[in-house]
A and B are shown apart, each in its own frame.
Chain A
């Protein structure tokens, strides 16, 4: 029953926000919905830990440790983003973004906010559905749903550049997902002989995983390649990453953070489900080689763009491409350690990335630019809180110790060396160091330095509390992971390496 509530809450919040007229009510509805969602997700996590997988309607919905983890991360990201969004849009309104023409006092704030507050619950609904759908076809439908719900968030500001970004996002996403659909059809076909079923259960992951060894092997091979290309496009791994910098820099900050920390997990979740089937059918070798190739390629592609980046919003997108690459690479290294490293990385990344986005958003709203060149540096003098948090987030995202991403990257490194690879982990370290230095140089120049004499920024309570709260979580997670959370991650890793 809890699975149903997890879907109903965001689905109900969407039309509710659509019919509301006053802004505070919309904000409250949105916050309440995501707070309830987070509680439900935590309950689901405990339930799965206590009594194993939960399913509903003959296994139409199904949640094991892996799904529970993704649902938990998605709802966490949704909640922090909606807290930040309240302050962010109020500032936007003060900056006059929503005014039809600069001189006129009339404001479009309410319709715009209604658009945002009714689309984000739909967006979150599709992300939760991705994790809860047992049927691989429904999984595909839900991932396509995340694209459709978020296209209008990308054109939120209605600039010409936003249209361009949205067009790229929609078209590249649609083509990528059509490949994933082809992969899903081929998986169904390769299972057809083994299962001999034409009922709905024939596409259920929990059914397929038991029979994966008897699948038709050549078909499954082609299917996995198509799935990797398809869901890889959604995760933004190179060379299908080109939509990412545009979409991330054009969407409003809270929506971009949800794209970076939510959709990324969902796409990788889809990939992991197929990875399990493929490695059962063909052995882990075949999938590993492909994953390592694409993972390293994504990290490598991100390096030069981060080093010479002029725009800090786009920089975040390249960081996201880099992290997608790291996770795919970790899955490719495989073994219990590699998979554990990947899932730890997914968890820590979802907690850390929104903080970086929020700080970048604060800076952008204060300076009204997203170019490093036009920001004169010395931000710490005019915005001490956001400046300090931005430095902290930079260090955390690039995996500097003591922050938690260091832990997961170190685990992945050990998995790489332990798996008998030598050159690949060294390449991995090289890319990490290059990205670390690129990030540090750019953001240190932005935050530190002599006072350029800007007036001190006023940051409202909502923005402050979301930034401070999230920064505290990031710091604490560097030293202490709650035991149930770690058991959930461990359980999910066991499912992937098939020890259950």
Chain B
């Protein structure tokens, strides 16, 4: 069982999981059912928690275990559960149509991934290529790609709830960047961020619910009374 101690092995596992996270993100771009999007988000968050766990194990950094556990609890269980409850209550199950159709969206997501790799390249200093730097390199590219694709999803979707999901996947990208670049921010900062994300989703959820009641739809493109 020596490979459990081998940092090389840990690095490969992390890269593999980061790649899976990216694949899920691209799959979410083409997804039209809200329930499936929420499940994709849950699995993605689960993988992120696992990445955090592996990083904590190989670097003997106990505070990252807390972060991993919280991610699992909040993002992989609690938030999907809340969001699914919201979908049940407002009774809208699928995105009518995104602004850009699915194949083209997936193509754009692919291009954004490339952009992520190009940006991440500028952070890579081969002269200090310890395991740390190498680890940061690949996952950082994935993190930037997640961020950009999340951004794109928010622009592309018209349903209020889909925009919230886009925002959450964008935050997942940030989480991956934080964990892979610096092994997480200090614990209290991470706790603050978790708290904020949770409250933000609840606030947005209440807004979604109220928009649904007032407009009988949660199509954001109907919100266009306030104009110059």
Contacts and interface: CB of A to CB of B under 8 A. Distances in A.
Interface stretch (A69-77, A79-87, A163-171, A253-261): A163-171
Is chain A's binding surface mostly helix, strand, loop or mixed?
Answer: helix
Nearest to A250: B226
A170 B204 contact: yes
Nearest to B190: A137
B189 A137 contact: yes
A140 B192 CA distance: 9
Nearest to B178: A185
B167 A174 contact: yes
Interface stretch (A20-28, A196-204, A386-394): A196-204
Contact of B174 (A144, A181, A192): A181
A144 B196 contact: yes
A47 to B, nearest CB: 26
Interface residues of B, number: 42
Nearest to A189: B181
A381 to B, nearest CB: 31
Residue with the greatest number of chain A CB neighbours at <10 A, chosen from B122, B192, B220, B224: B192
Contacts of A192: 181-182
A53 B112 CA distance: 45
Interface string B161-172: 001000100110
Contact of A160 (B119, B174, B195, B214): B214
Interface string B147-158: 100010010000
A141 B193 contact: yes
B188 interface: yes
Contacts of B160: 167
B207 A175 contact: no
A145 interface: yes
B91 interface: no
Interface string A177-221: 010011001101100100000111011000000000000001100
A163 B207 contact: yes
Given A135-B186, A138-B188, A185-B177, A170 B226 contact: no
A163 B186 contact: no
A178 B167 contact: yes
B123 interface: yes
Contacts, number: 121
Contact of A137 (B119, B185, B215): B185
Given A135-B189, A188-B182, A198-B183, A167 B195 contact: no
Nearest to A137: B189
Interface string B188-216: 11001101100110011001001100110
Residue with the greatest number of chain A CB neighbours at <10 A, chosen from B214, B220, B224: B214
Contacts of B192: 137-138, 140-141
Given A137-B192, A178-B170, A170 B181 contact: no
Contacts of B214: 160, 163
Given A163-B211, A178-B170, A178-B174, A200 B188 contact: yes
B207 A167 contact: yes
A155 B210 contact: yes
A85 B8 CA distance: 63
Nearest to B144: A182
A199 B225 contact: no
Contacts of B196: 141, 144-145, 148
A164 B225 contact: yes
Contacts of A250: 226
Given A170-B207, A189-B182, A144 B200 contact: yes
B186 A182 contact: no
19 contacts: A141-B189, A144-B196, A145-B196, A151-B207, A161-B225, A164-B225, A164-B226, A165-B226, A167-B207, A167-B211, A175-B151, A185-B178, A192-B182, A198-B186, A200-B186, A200-B187, A203-B185, A222-B122, A245-B226
Interface of A: 135, 137-138, 140-141, 144-145, 147-148, 151-152, 155, 160-161, 163-168, 170-171, 174-175, 178, 181-182, 185-186, 188-189, 192, 198-200, 202-203, 218-219, 222, 245-246, 249-250, 305, 314
Given A138-B192, A141-B195, 11 more contacts: A135-B189, A140-B193, A145-B196, A170-B207, A171-B154, A174-B204, A186-B177, A198-B182, A199-B186, A246-B226, A305-B228
Interface of B: 61, 119, 122-123, 147, 151, 154, 160, 163, 167, 170-171, 174, 177-178, 181-183, 185-189, 192-193, 195-196, 199-200, 203-204, 207, 210-211, 214-215, 220, 223-226, 228
